[in-house]
A and B are shown apart, each in its own frame.
Chain A
Amino acid sequence: MLKIQNLHASVEQKHILKGLNLDIKPGEVHAIMGPNGAGKSTLGYILSGREGYEVSEGSVDFQGEDLLEMEIEDRARKGLFLAFQYPVEIPGVSNMEFMKESVNAMREQRGEEPLSAAEFLKKAKEACKQVQLPLDFLKRGVNEGFSGGEKKRNELMQMILLEPTLCILDESDSGLDIDALQVVANGVNSQRDGKRSFIVITHYQRLLDYIEPDHVHILANGKVVKSGDASLAKEVEKEGYAFLGQDNAEEAGA
């Protein structure tokens, strides 16, 4: 599904990723943990193609294609989805029209007919229900005046509608209370079908109580410094990131 090899990247001339490797198979859930500044969000942005990030070395293979060569929208149309940590507002553009364009862009890529308004509405309503988002959110401007938790659920709603093959969740748990966290986790779990893969980026272990990962990677100083199964997350919860050693912790905090 996704194979990252020796990835080096920088933003504003700051070297952030320093030889990252990751191999994700279809249906797997990988959790990426690590201290602030370890490069977790950078990884999400580089995979989705955000401008301003420069890859100096390494390769990323996504479903047999060179991901780094693709335009942002092509990556999205080929099934890469990023749930934003801080989703931006688009005033005056309703969630409904935004998602309809988006869903139909994906369908076009797959050679399918665009959905009719009625078909789309039906799907959109189901997706809202799954993440307990009131239906009037479909009529509201994209993220316009949404609370932090509503924005996160709105991202999940979009993910469910778009049926991506690879979902990257960038701190989808941050700022959520325990109930909202469960809603988000349930949304993710409902989409686990043995084929769809997930990269769950999080600072805390608590999200992983609800979304059980197949693999946990600790990212520090731009590299995966430790990988393991779900128990690794528990260990981090108990010990903190101190075990990474002084050097890493310092650089990570820098």
Chain B
Amino acid sequence: MSEQIDQALSRKYDAGFVSDIESETFPIGLDEDVIQRISAMKGEPEWMLEWRLRAYRSWLTMEEPEWAHVHYPKIDYQAISYYSAPKSMKDKPKSLDEVDPELLRTYEKLGIPLHEQEMLAGVAVDAVFDSVSVVTTFRSKLEEAGVIFCPISEAVHKYPELVKKYLGTVVPRSDNYFAALNSAVFTDGSFVYIPKGVRCPMELSTYFRINEQNTGQFERTLIVADEGSYVSYLEGCTAPQRDENQLHAAVVELVAMDDAQIKYSTVQNWYPGDENGKGGIYNFVTKRGICHTNAKISWTQVETGSAVTWKYPSCILKGDNSVGEFYSVALTRGRQQADTGTKMIHLGKNTKSTIISKGISAGNSNNAYRGLVQMGPKADGARNFTECDSLLIGDRCGAHTFPYIESRNPSAIVEHEATTSKVSDDQLFLCKQRGLDAEKAVSMIVNGFCKEVFRELPMEFAVEAGKLLEISLEGSVG
């Protein structure tokens, strides 16, 4: 039976099509001129350009990190184009009717209807195509509640005070190599502001799509939940199937003020490359949130795509009684490599964090969990619970766990549990004896393994995530 499991994982990547859209794309290469041109394209104010240039200059002094358990050829940053936008976007459409129909079809193919009447009630979408935000739905309804949800490029113009106040406060410009690069060249992304005491009336959602060849996508998301507010935010991503590797280096910053709550969910399905490891997205992402007093941030991620993933959604628990959560399912197959996990930095008293990580490895893939739990000297009574489970499918894949625990407070409690298991021949035999085929059996076993995390996803996303796993496992057994 393990032979069957072994049979190379060769399912089709459903989102792998290329859209024929005329684009305006910068020539490859990166220097200060390019950054000035990006800034000029977006008509940015001087302070924004200055911010980018300072990020660029620190990036030049930095080295690409090599500590992650991933291997890939050196990236040539001069071979990437740093800006691409559908031509028709030049004069930004005011409504959906003015959007290039090909672009709308692209999103429809991806199962993301942008027409408001077709939308699932209660989800507002911001769609980012290559470097620009295409359309944001349900804006007027959100405005009524005082919620700001718009492309970050627009926020720079319309809400400069808010952007200036928070941008780079959670992930500083020179935080790390990829964050610095992003700060220099980010082209779009979403901006969210929830005013004091407001519970955002619907789920907010952004879909990212890389279409152009040889472009990188560098989006930047900033979510500010003011005192006592609540927001649930969903992020999804896909890319066409290409032989070249493409770079995606995003930054997400979350600010949860006193008593605020942010729930951030990601379903990441970037193109993972073919079974021999050709092509695929390099996904180097910095995601971090800061919790003030009594605030709570939950990260939930389902990661099935990308050739290489380097991603550690983290929480800085600065305020007393604040809560950080990280729920993750990371599935790797073929030649995919993932090094993902979280950081929980406990600074305030009685801060709590929970980490549930489920890694599933199949084929020749490598899946690593890397997590840091840090208890600061003032974090009296802080608590962490970590559960880190790995599931292996077949016998040529790897699962690795790198937990880092640093406690500088004797009253803090840190718990770490880890398990590694295999989809066993016995389990498969039981399922088949009950009339299920091997694929159904594996997907059922994997879904059961991930249940604790799926429970944390918003309803529509949980269904999507389950299906995505099923599709990702297609062909993983003979």
Contact = CB atoms under 8 A, between A and B. Distances in A.
Contacts of B431: 90, 98
B445 interface: yes
A73 B432 contact: yes
A4 interface: no
Interface stretch (B160-168, B258-266, B436-444): B436-444
B427 interface: yes
Interface stretch (B38-46, B126-134, B271-279, B448-456): B448-456
Contacts of A93: 444-445, 447-448
B437 A92 contact: no
B435 interface: yes
A91 B452 CA distance: 11
A156 interface: no
Contact of A76 (B424, B427, B435, B440): B435
Interface string B421-432: 000111101111
B56 to A, nearest CB: 47
B434 A98 contact: yes
Interface string B1-39: 100000000000000000000000000000000000000
B424 A88 contact: yes
Size band of the interface chain A makes with B: 20 to 34
Contact of B433 (A72, A97, A99): A72
A91 B387 CA distance: 15
A51 interface: yes
> Which has the most chain A C-beta neighbours within 10 Å: B435, B437, B448?
B435
B435 A77 contact: yes
B426 A92 contact: no
Contacts of A88: 424, 426-427, 429-430
Contacts, number: 72
Given A77-B435, A105-B435, A92 B449 contact: yes
Size band of the interface chain B makes with A: 20 to 34
B430 A51 contact: no
Contacts of B436: 73, 101-102, 105
Contacts of A102: 434-436
Interface string A73-108: 100110001101001101111000111011001100
A72 to B, nearest CB: 4
B434 A91 contact: no
B430 A84 contact: yes
B444 A51 contact: no
Contacts of A81: 433
B167 to A, nearest CB: 41
A158 interface: yes
A93 B445 CA distance: 7
Contacts of A91: 448-449
B429 A72 contact: yes
Contacts of A158: 434
Contacts of A82: 433
A237 B425 CA distance: 36
Contacts of B444: 90, 93, 97-98, 101
A240 to B, nearest CB: 32
A76 B433 contact: yes
A18 B461 CA distance: 55
Contact of B448 (A50, A99, A105, A141): A141
Interface of B: 1, 424-427, 429-438, 440, 444-445, 447-452
List 8 tightest A-B contacts by C-beta distance, closest first. A92-B448, A93-B448, A105-B435, A72-B432, A102-B434, A88-B426, A76-B435, A92-B451
28 contacts: A48-B433, A51-B1, A51-B425, A51-B429, A72-B429, A72-B433, A73-B436, A76-B433, A76-B435, A82-B433, A84-B433, A87-B430, A88-B427, A88-B430, A90-B430, A90-B431, A90-B448, A91-B449, A92-B448, A92-B450, A93-B444, A93-B447, A93-B448, A98-B434, A101-B436, A105-B434, A105-B435, A162-B434
Given A71-B432, A73-B438, A76-B435, 12 more contacts: A49-B432, A73-B437, A82-B433, A87-B430, A88-B426, A92-B451, A99-B434, A101-B434, A101-B436, A102-B434, A105-B435, A141-B448
